[in-house]
Structure 1
Amino acid sequence: MSLQDQELFLSKIPPFQALTQEQMDYCIKYMDIAYYPKDSTLITPEKISNHFFIIIKGSVFEYSSDNAVVMDYHSEDSFDSNSLIYGKCKNTFKVHEDLICYELEKQAFLKLIEDNQEFKDFYLKDLVNKIKTLKDKEYTSELSSFMIAKVDDTLIHEACIVEENTKLNDAISKSMEYKTSTIIVKRDDGVYGIITDSLLKVKVLLEGRDLTIPVKDIAIFPLLTVFSDDYLFEALTLLIKRNIKRVGVTNSEGEMIGILEQIDVLSHFANHTYVVDSKIKKAKTIEDLKNASGDLINIIRSLHAKGVKVNHISNLIGQLNTKVYQKIYSLVVPSQLQREACFIVMGSEGRNEQIIKTDQDNALVVKDGVDVEQYRPYMNKIIEHLIDFGYPPCEGNIMVSNPFWCKTVSEYKAETARWIEAPDMQNYMDLAIFFDSFAVAGDKELLINLKDDLFNKLHDKDVFMAYFAKATLTFDTPTTVSNFMTKSNKLDIKKVAVFPIVQGIRSLALREKIRETTTVKRIKILQQRGEIEKEQAAELLEAFDVVNTLRLKSQLENIQDGNKIDNEIDTHTLGKIERDLLKDSLKIVVEFKKFITYKFKIDKIS
């Protein structure tokens, strides 16, 4: 193999592509090609190698002290940096298939770490940073302003700020100097409010108020804000969620530095999201709403192709789906009945984690004393419309058309009591789905009441919680390439990775009485409460992103090819970096399962 071939080979392997030409030449100078037959032992706790290995062909298995395979390495994989850096190794590395590899001398490897910060960070930082580095490498060609743009990357308008007792006419004069129609009001307690042109028309012109009144009398408090270093995409999601045209921008100390206008965010992204949002809001008939909701798949394709993180896509699509549900509820259900009930979504929809329409989980909570029967024809009609819109029916019939999921508050309370007092697998599943519920229309206080009741019932129910959490272990999670590269090529990523994270975090959230439904936000809250360590939280967030990204990519390919949408990924079509990302993510899932077992003392129950 020529020097040019060696350089080309190394340049494909993170983090060797970060080396300068001089460092690459130095690396190649101290690197040789070696051959080891099958069953050769390369590294043991008693015998640390003086080389860093990079596989050209063949495979190596890493064994723990109890002789279990904890990792396997194939072409373009490398090992073992830890033994060279720290001078010790707790595992054994043995050749599984005849090995041809590069051997980089220890002193050269350590010198590269000393001379190149990016090279050093890859091997010395934790698994989270390794995953981030690999993701950067995999998606660099797809990165766009969608993925990396921050709020301060776009136009931020200078804020016209006045004190709360400023006369309105003086504030208006100042806003004219700033050439803006927006006035920001700062209260004495530091909270910001806002006055817009439309507010002036309603609160001053129509009500005939005097222009000498203090601005605090008509300002709306508090003003919604974002940080200047927030992702711009998060600001867009907030604007759409709250149906507002602008937000304040603050620095890390909470000081107002400007105004972000919706029109500027939209011009930055120039995508179809706002058009769909407007269509949903303006829909006057079921047919109008159907046409609007049909555009969601195009948004998903566009955002995914541009490298937007799955979490951001699910948040945005979740908000749009919520608006579809709200609109269909308002179009189908008579106004009086709308106020006497609460329409909820559950499961992945309730967690805001269903991007592609795979099924629907929804229910209705009716106020006590109101006849549930009068709602049934309307609920059946809603399900018919949703199916027509492309929301597939739930195979388990967890839909509002099912009388089981259309009840009064008292009937739901009796149901949750039964789930807890006489638990079986179905009851655990129903409770899990219900706990993830999110109110989208009607009287949301009805659901809040039910959640309060559920939390009270679970007080001191440690054994129940242990069985509930045990579901985290339902499906085996492979830890090595050879295990997940199955003969059928298919790996159900939901069973082996997504579900264990969701259920484990859901169990912790239920025990901690956390009302938030999304898995990502639950992880962050659990970290804040000290239930999981900061490093573990970061690992789970990265792993959750990786496996959901792979699932979404596969689902979009299935749609394009006209195939059934499922949760399986074809492991044999994964690129080298995707395979590494999956391998590291599955390792995190396995460790998380052990953590849940310990946290809920699952090994103590039968």
Structure 2
Amino acid sequence: MSLRDQEAFLSNIHPFEVLSPKQMSKCINNMDIAYYPKDTTLINPEHIPNSYFIIIKGIIHEYRDEQLVMDYHQQDSFDANSLIYSTTKSSFKVQEDLICYELNKKTFLELIEENSEFKDFFLNNLVNKIQTLKTKEYTSQLTSFMISKVEDTLIHEPCIVQKSTTLKDAIAKSIEYKTSTIIVKKDNEYGIITDSLLKMKVLLTEKNLENFVEDIAIFPLLTVFKDDYLFEALTLLIKKGIKRVGVINDNHELIGILEQLDVLSHFANHSFVVDTQIKKAKSIDALKSASKDLINIIRSLHTKGVKVNHISNLIGQLNTKVYKKLYQLIVPEDLQNNACFIVMGSEGRNEQIIKTDQDNALVVKDGIDVEQYRPYMKKMTETLIDFGYPPCEGNIMVSNPFWCKTVKEYEAETSRWIEAPDMQNYMDLAIFFDSFAVAGDKELLIKLKDNLFNKLHDKDVFLAYFAKATLTFDTPNTIANFMTKTHFIDIKKTGVFPIVQGVRSLALRERIRETTTVKRIKILQERDELNSELANELIEAFEVLSTLRLKSQLKQVDNKEKINNEIDTHLLSKIERDLLKDSFKIVVAFKKFITYTFKIDKIL
């Protein structure tokens, strides 16, 4: 292999591409090519080599306490820790005849001292390593979607008036500023007056223009920070159904107005069109037409490198609006506010991006006849199936009488789940705990969750059994465990579910109402139920696992296959394999944390 070939090979292996030309040359000049037959032990606690290994061809297995913990393939490298710390608890054994580069220890340690990026990769914690790998994996996809901040787009100078300004003077100032938006400052708070508000509150009511702006302004003005991601502002605009937000600095001072049209022009994204179509839909057919474009939005955002949690948040908001509009179109108006339509499970957590199934229910106000809702709920389920929301295999749908009943009946049900627990009851409770109200009287669900929290007071044994579900599925320490005859793995069972269930168990114990997994983790961190390192690791691992699942599901959609949670490990890139390995390490560690926290070993 020529020097140029060696450089090309190393440049594709992270973090060697961060080396300067001089450092790369130094690296190449101090490398040798070596061959080791199968079953050779390269490293063990009694033998620390003087080389850093970079695999050209072959497979290495890493063992700890005779248990396989990691495998290394072409373009993988090892073992920095034994060189840096001159000790190891692992053994590295050749599984398949090995051809590799050996970089001598002296040069490797010199490069670490000479190049801070190179050093950081080997000495940083697992979260930083994952973030570094993710950055490299998606660098080619970084676009304005991924990196644009609010301050990067057009921010309009605000027309600010004090609360005691007359309407006449405020309108005159807005004309001077050439804007239809008036910002009202009231002490340390901002409010807003729009053109449409002036028409409704002033023109139609013939209000005296000498009245103060405070009388009609809407408080508070929704705001974003100037260094927030622009995509987060887009999600807020869609969620709230508004056309503008205020922009504030770190001191919470208003510095401008961000308009919907400017965000649209920056992204040239179709999501606002879909949002508008959903709002304006006056028939089920029109609503179906609007909802069918969601998959195109998902594909577009994923291709452009948008983080999966941003995609799920945006799609979740649009799905919520579809549900709400459908509820309004199907359920008679006089019945709508005597019940609450809820989504549960992954939909309730705002984490179902591709339509895999529907988990929904109806909570009916006590004293109201449930039977009158049943035909409408049957139509809800049938219509959602027609829209492309697959039916739930477990029949956890509002058309099922079990998931359509009064508040008192649900209270009796939650009591049964707790007092006579079995696997089905644990699952039902988990699904229900993740519920989110999308239409009707949301107070009915709030009341139910209050009742649930009160019942769980001092139920430590129940919570331990509930948390035990975190351990239901095995999580491999290494991809070697599934690079076998069947190279497909269910990433939900092995990685996503343990994080979701473990975090859900902690959230249930702490009476946390938030449903999304990432937000639950952040709240648990704030309450010191999770230390910062573990919280950050969980968020990064959850992002990686969810991204790999979404990528696989989009491929299934393109191939018109049935959507599932399996990924083909043979199709993963080198960096994706590294990300998956590190994410599984975090999941395994989290399972141990849950076992210790809930004392699960005491109930086994």
Q: CA deviation digits over 1:418-471, x for unaligned, max 9?
A: 000000000000000000000000000000000000000001100000000000
Q: Which of 80-89 and 478-487 deviates more?
A: 80-89
Q: CA deviation digits over 1:279-313, x for unaligned, max 9?
A: 11111111111111111111111111111111111
Describe the SS at the equivalent of 2:197.
helix
**Distance in 2 (alpha carbons) for counterparts of 1:131 and 1:101:** 25
CA offset at residue 269 of structure 1?
A: 0.7
Describe the SS at the equivalent of 2:450.
helix
Partner of 2:56: 56
Partner of 2:404: 406
Partner of 1:251: 249
Partner of 2:357: 359
**Distance in 1 (alpha carbons) for counterparts of 2:516 and 2:294:** 20
Partner of 1:527: 525
Partner of 1:478: 476
* Amino acid of the structure 1 residue aligned with 2:186: R
- Asked if 1 retains the 8 angstrom alpha-carbon contact of 2:159 and 2:181, the reply is yes
Partner of 2:598: 600
Describe the SS at the equivalent of 1:90.
coil
Partner of 2:274: 276
Q: Which aligned pairs between 1:413-428 and structure 2 lie closer than 5 A?
A: 413-428=411-426
CA offset at residue 175 of structure 1?
A: 2.2
CA offset at residue 106 of structure 1?
A: 1.9
| 1:586 counterpart (584, 587, 591) | 584
- Asked if 1 retains the 8 angstrom alpha-carbon contact of 2:70 and 2:480, the reply is no
* Amino acid of the structure 1 residue aligned with 2:146: M
CA offset at residue 98 of structure 1?
A: 2.5
* Amino acid of the structure 2 residue aligned with 1:495: K
CA offset at residue 584 of structure 1?
A: 1.1
Describe the SS at the equivalent of 2:192.
strand
Describe the SS at the equivalent of 1:56.
strand
Partner of 2:3: 3
**Distance in 2 (alpha carbons) for counterparts of 1:90 and 1:177:** 73
Q: CA deviation digits over 1:191-229, x for unaligned, max 9?
A: 211111111122222222222322222211111111111
**Distance in 2 (alpha carbons) for counterparts of 1:591 and 1:268:** 42
* Amino acid of the structure 2 residue aligned with 1:116: N
Describe the SS at the equivalent of 1:441.
strand
**Distance in 2 (alpha carbons) for counterparts of 1:166 and 1:109:** 69
Q: Which aligned pairs between 1:117-266 and structure 2 lie closer than 5 A?
A: 117-188=116-187, 190-266=188-264
- Asked if 1 retains the 8 angstrom alpha-carbon contact of 2:33 and 2:102, the reply is yes
Describe the SS at the equivalent of 1:247.
strand
CA offset at residue 40 of structure 1?
A: 2.9
Q: CA deviation digits over 1:216-252, x for unaligned, max 9?
A: 2221111111111111111111101101000111112
In structure 2, the gaps of 5 or more residues are none
| 1:346 counterpart (344, 347, 354) | 344
**Distance in 2 (alpha carbons) for counterparts of 1:276 and 1:214:** 38
**Distance in 1 (alpha carbons) for counterparts of 2:71 and 2:501:** 28
Describe the SS at the equivalent of 1:513.
coil
Does residue 328 (structure 1) correspond to residue 326 (structure 2)? The answer is: yes
Q: CA deviation digits over 1:401-434, x for unaligned, max 9?
A: 1000000000000000000000000000000000
CA offset at residue 539 of structure 1?
A: 1.1
- The alignment covers a number of residue pairs equal to 604
* Amino acid of the structure 2 residue aligned with 1:69: L
**Distance in 2 (alpha carbons) for counterparts of 1:249 and 1:91:** 53
**Distance in 2 (alpha carbons) for counterparts of 1:181 and 1:50:** 71
* Amino acid of the structure 2 residue aligned with 1:85: I
* Amino acid of the structure 1 residue aligned with 2:161: V
* Amino acid of the structure 2 residue aligned with 1:118: E
**Distance in 2 (alpha carbons) for counterparts of 1:580 and 1:305:** 21
Partner of 1:498: 496
Describe the SS at the equivalent of 1:417.
helix
**Distance in 2 (alpha carbons) for counterparts of 1:484 and 1:331:** 48
Q: Which of 287-296 and 96-105 deviates more?
A: 96-105
Partner of 1:558: 556
* Identity percentage of aligned residues: 76
- Asked if 1 retains the 8 angstrom alpha-carbon contact of 2:149 and 2:228, the reply is yes
Q: CA deviation digits over 1:513-559, x for unaligned, max 9?
A: 11011111111111111111111111111111111111111111111
CA offset at residue 92 of structure 1?
A: 2.6
CA offset at residue 61 of structure 1?
A: 2.1
Q: CA deviation digits over 1:361-415, x for unaligned, max 9?
A: 0000000000000000111111111111111111111011100000000000000
**Distance in 2 (alpha carbons) for counterparts of 1:95 and 1:85:** 22
Displacement over 4 Å in runs of 4+: none
* Amino acid of the structure 2 residue aligned with 1:385: T
In structure 1, the gaps of 5 or more residues are none
| 1:372 counterpart (370, 373, 386) | 370
Describe the SS at the equivalent of 2:53.
strand
Partner of 1:508: 506
* Amino acid of the structure 1 residue aligned with 2:443: E
* Amino acid of the structure 1 residue aligned with 2:95: H
Q: Which of 294-303 and 196-205 deviates more?
A: 196-205
Describe the SS at the equivalent of 1:95.
strand
* Amino acid of the structure 1 residue aligned with 2:102: E
Q: Which aligned pairs between 1:443-458 and structure 2 lie closer than 5 A?
A: 443-458=441-456
* Amino acid of the structure 2 residue aligned with 1:109: F
Describe the SS at the equivalent of 1:208.
coil
Q: CA deviation digits over 1:99-156, x for unaligned, max 9?
A: 2211112222222222222212211211111112211222222221111111111111
TM-score w.r.t. the length of structure 2 is: 0.98
Describe the SS at the equivalent of 2:33.
strand
**Distance in 2 (alpha carbons) for counterparts of 1:353 and 1:198:** 35
Change (3 A) 1:2 1:280: same
Q: CA deviation digits over 1:236-271, x for unaligned, max 9?
A: 111011010001111122121111111100111111
- Asked if 1 retains the 8 angstrom alpha-carbon contact of 2:343 and 2:438, the reply is yes
**Distance in 1 (alpha carbons) for counterparts of 2:299 and 2:484:** 28
